[in-house]
């Protein structure tokens, strides 16, 4: 917290100024736990756009590995975390199904970074989210959501399977637990700070970014 105190000392906010809002995305495949994650860490009752699954969507929303799932997000999930009196974190959960990906472009506008939830029962489902953020240069981490009964893979195994570079953090997570979700968010913040520091060092040394 020393950095925060230093920032407070050198860049005081105007009295009565509204808090700065910080935007983080929670992405991943269908049924990976995005709605659960946002609901667990949010300090407010999260806004959710879940709808019941029906037989009509069975072909587009295959339930292999997630047979117990009965609802799906059709637009977004929204939650909020107040960090301090000057900073508020907004969480936006993206829809997982391919037919709703057109919403991702709107949701990612202004985002600082993303948590990509990976379900080891359907690990390939996180590939599109990883590709989306890589192509747009948006920093992200991969959080392996460890479902009951699911196989436990080590971070290095997940990294290799997904094809992640060594710079992308891979952490374990239980989306049902607030402490675990905030731990994943903290890992993302550390990653963003490391990237910012590396970028500043390269700029000061005259090296190409």
Q: CB burial class (10 A; 0-12, 13-18, 19+) of residue 17?
A: exposed
Cβ 52 vs Cβ 25: under 8 Å = no
Q: What is the pLDDT of residue 6?
A: 41
Residues 6+ apart with CB under 8 A from 136: 108
Report pLDDT for 205: 61
pLDDT of residue 43: 95
- Whole-number pLDDT of residue 8: 46
Q: Determine the pLDDT at residue 200.
A: 72
pLDDT at residue 103, as a whole number: 81
174 Rama sector, left if φ>0, alpha if ψ -120 to 50, beta otherwise: beta
Of 85, 110, 83, the C-alpha closest to 14 is 85
Query: In angstroms, rounded to a whole number, what is the distance separating the alpha carbons of residues 209 and 207?
Result: 6
Q: List, run by run, the mean pLDDT of 10-residue segments along the chain (209 residues).
A: 41 64 92 92 80 49 50 70 92 78 84 94 90 95 85 88 94 95 95 86 60
User: What is the model's pLDDT at position 40?
Assistant: 95
pTM: 0.76
């Amino acid at each position: 917290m020393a950095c925060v105190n230093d920032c407070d000392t050198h860049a005081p906010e105007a009295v009565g100024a509204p808090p700065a809002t910080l935007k983080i995305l929670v992405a991943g495949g269908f049924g990976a736990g995005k709605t659960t994650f946002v609901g667990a860490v949010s300090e407010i009752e999260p806004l959710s756009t879940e709808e019941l699954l029906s037989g009509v969507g069975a072909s587009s929303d295959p339930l292999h590995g997630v047979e117990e799932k009965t609802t799906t997000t059709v637009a977004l999930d929204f939650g909020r975390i107040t960090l301090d009196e000057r900073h508020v974190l907004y969480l936006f959960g993206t829809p997982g199904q391919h037919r709703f990906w057109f919403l991702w472009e709107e949701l990612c506008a202004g985002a600082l970074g993303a948590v990509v939830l990976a379900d080891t029962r359907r690990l390939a489902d996180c590939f599109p989210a990883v590709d989306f953020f890589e192509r747009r240069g948006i920093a992200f981490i991969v959080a392996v959501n460890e479902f009951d009964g699911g196989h436990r893979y080590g971070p290095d195994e997940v990294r290799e399977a997904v094809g992640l570079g060594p710079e992308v953090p891979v952490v374990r997570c239980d989306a049902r637990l607030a402490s675990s979700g905030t731990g994943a968010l903290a890992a993302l913040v550390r990653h963003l700070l490391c990237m910012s520091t590396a970028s500043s060092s390269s700029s000061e040394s005259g090296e190409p970014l």
